[in-house]
Amino acid sequence: MTPSPAEYRENLLRAYRFQSPQWIPIASGLPWLDWSSHGYEPEELERICLRHPFLLPDFTPGTLRRNHEMVLRDRPDMVANNAYRDPWGCVWQTKVTGMVGAVTHHPLASWDAFDGFHAPDPDRTDGLLQLDWGQQRREREQARQCGRLSGGWIPHGHTFLRLQDLRGYENLIFDMADEDPRLDRLIGILTDFHCELIRRWLALEPDVITIAEDLGMQTSPMLSPAQFRRYIAPVYERLTRPIKATGVLVHEHSDGFVMPLIDDIIRTGGDVINVQDLVNGIDRLAKEVKGRIAIDLDIDRQHITVNGSPQEIDDHIRECVTKLASPAGGLSLVYQPWPPTPARNMDAVFTAMEKYAFGFN
């Protein structure tokens, strides 16, 4: 069975709202890389993807090539050895085309540069790339006509990470420790800008708005729970409140270990959160998160799916579903493989995700 766009949309919204979906929503896609340069045979990866139309219904021959060409054409921030200055003044560089890079120039590394600092124009940009609101409106109208899910976003790393981009990580943590009043002013500038983006997205009547940033490292968050509660949680509340008031769903995300922050993340109003499985622990997610907020589970891409056998991969997906799924909903699975994951392991993950999408019945 390959669901229609309308069936996919309805089922996903039911899962996010705990309204008894027909199956566990699953999603995947390969990064926009030149896979041949990483030692893969693109034809083999295409054959694997084409074998999984339930998971990858939009994949067609040439998708990998077209995605990589799109990066070269439309994503200057993801082109190798190309210093890209975003509308906030941060300079990004990556060594791998198709992979997000790192900020190499922090425009507010010194507070001396703060005088006269202002946000970019939300009519023209989302803060990372240029944004054509007329085009966005047309795309959402087309999505509604086709019954597809309609979404909006504010850029990944909107608050905590954007503060790092502007100030640098060490400076930011010291700002928090020192309770520097300039930090509150900077946060206000960022939040006002993102609220303006949200206002524009809500005018387009999307199904869901994504508010994503990474808060965690491998074994701890990047800031203390007290710092999150003081500086970041109030921003999340301000961002999510107008979205939820309209009935639009809020999709949040954080890579890394975030369990010490999870109560405050849930309290600040998201409907669903994309979190990583092994880093946070399946048992701990089942105990502390399941049923409180929908879990969009990010399947491991560092350990089992890279180095394990197909059977170990199957066992892992089954464990995720067994411990986190419920007939009421509240679980979806997402997976994005990166080099050096073997092609056969990608296929094993795709197979297990499709196999256990109906595993809770």
Q: Give residue-wise pLDDT tens across range 81-131.
A: 999 999 999 999 999 999 999 999 999 999 999 999 999 999 999 999 999
Mean pLDDT of 164-189: 98
* CA–CA gap between residue 224 and residue 182 (Å, rounded): 20
Cα 43 → chain centroid: 28
Are β-strands 331-335 and 151-154 bridged in parallel, bridged antiparallel, or unpaired? unpaired
pLDDT of residue 2: 85
Q: Render pLDDT for 185-195 as a digit per residue (tens, 0 to 9).
A: 999 999 999 99
Encode pLDDT of 199-226 as tens digits: 999 999 999 999 999 999 999 999 999 9
pLDDT at site 360: 55
Q: What is the CATH number of domain 7-31+107-356?
A: 3.20.20.210
Q: How far is the C-alpha of 298 from the C-alpha of 302, rounded, in Å?
A: 11
Above 90 in pLDDT, residue 353? yes
- Span 297-349, pLDDT tens digits: 999 999 999 999 999 999 999 999 999 999 999 999 999 999 999 999 999 99
> If you average pLDDT over residues 74-84, what whole number do you get?
95
Other Cβ atoms within 10 Å of 269 Cβ, number: 19
Q: Is residue 351 classed as helix, strand or coil in its secondary structure? A: helix
pLDDT digits (tens, 9 = 90+) for 15-66: 999 999 999 999 999 999 999 999 999 999 999 999 999 999 999 999 999 9
pLDDT at 268: 93
The model's pTM = 0.96
According to the model, what pLDDT value does residue 354 have?
A: 97
Dig out the tokens for 286 from the structure: 């089942």
On average, the pLDDT of the chain sits at 97
| Token couple for 262 | 């999870």
Residue 133 parent element (H or E)? helix 133-146
- Other CB atoms within 10 A of residue 39 CB: 8
Q: Which residues contact 132 (CB under 8 A, 6 or more apart)?
A: none
Give the alpha-carbon dihedral of 76, 79, 83, 87, to 10 degrees: 30
The residue type found at 46 is E
Contact 80, 96 (CB under 8 A): yes
Pairing of strands 84-85, 91-93: antiparallel
Q: Let me know: does 194 contact 213? Beta carbons within 8 Å.
A: no
Distance CA 268, CA 236 (A): 6
Boundaries of every domain in the chain: 7-31+107-356
Q: How far apart are CA 334 and CA 295, in angstroms?
A: 10
